[in-house]
Amino acid sequence: MDFTELIMLFSALGMAVGFAGGMFGIGGGIILVPTFMYIFPLTGVRETVLMHMALGTSVAMLGPTSLASSIEQYRIGNLRMDFYRTWAMGIATGVIMGLLIVSKISTRELKLLFAVFLIFATCFMFTSKENDNNSNREPAGPAKFLASVAIGMLSLLTGTGGSTFTVPSLKVMGMDIKRAIAIASATAPIISIIGIAGFICHGIGVPDRPTYAIGYVDTLVFLCMTPTAMIGAPIGVKVGNNMNKNLLQHIFAVLIMVIALHTLYNLYPTLLR
């Protein structure tokens, strides 16, 4: 691909990720990580840094996408700040813990971790059913804090914005899916802010990175995707908020099932044949 084609490709990808992020609260990570793993080698990224570049750039993109989604979720009343404040503290703690171990994990181990948790989330989303009359409970106390710490750490390690873990976890605890998606959207900016700093520091001086990379973040990709992602995110929020809850949940499950199978196929090409 030439330079112009890459700019057009990443700009279009930004719009798609923004829309999906707004609709499902995903921040784009579960789409971007496997997509970057496919596209980055075409731009010259070496296998030795491929997964870390995909994770770092994905974490960077969580910020603008999820910020635009969170603003819209707050505007329509799905995001409650009294619940979010203490949730955010646990998420930040978990992200910092993830940064302490991410450089010690190989590309293959990160891919496998990513796929395993996607499969877990998919199974839950397919088997659970949204009940409008029994979907208003909220986690509290130590359970809430421990869940948010675990989600922060796993989200950093898999390069996602947290919805893959946040939405199923909050639903298990009894929260309405649309409110769970709103919390997931607001979770991602915390992961992005702390995660960007970590991936930049860990990647400084590492060989085989792209020309425009700062640490493990590809700044050219980030600049191409951010404007269109911020346009697509509020549109996705509006579409998701007007959708039937069970339909929204099942579409979410199909999305992450496809991504999980694709990631496993890359790890074990003969497994799914």
- On the question of pLDDT at 129 being above 70, the answer is no
pTM of the model: 0.72
**pLDDT one-digit tens code per residue, 85-116:** 889 999 999 988 888 887 677 767 777 777 77
- Which of 261 and 220 is assigned the larger pLDDT? 220
Looking at mean pLDDT, say which of 146-150, 187-191, 242-246 comes out highest: 146-150
- On the question of pLDDT at 13 being above 50, the answer is yes
Tokens 């659970």 correspond to: 128
Q: Does 159 reside within a domain?
A: yes
pLDDT score at 184: 85
Q: How many domains is the chain built from? A: 1
Q: Does 273 reside within a domain?
A: no
Tokens 């030439």 correspond to: 2
- On the question of pLDDT at 30 being above 60, the answer is yes
pLDDT score at 107: 63
Q: Does 109 reside within a domain?
A: yes
pLDDT score at 227: 94
pLDDT-derived band of residue 223, with 50, 70 and 90 as boundaries? very high
Q: Does 87 reside within a domain?
A: yes
pLDDT score at 136: 59
Residues of the chain above pLDDT 70, percent: 87
pLDDT score at 215: 92
CA 239 to chain centre: 19
- On the question of pLDDT at 134 being above 50, the answer is no
- What is the extent of the structural domain holding 73? 3-267
Q: Does 254 reside within a domain?
A: yes
Q: Does 272 reside within a domain?
A: no
Q: Does 253 reside within a domain?
A: yes
pLDDT score at 237: 87
- On the question of pLDDT at 133 being above 70, the answer is no
Q: Specify the amino acid at residue 171.
A: K
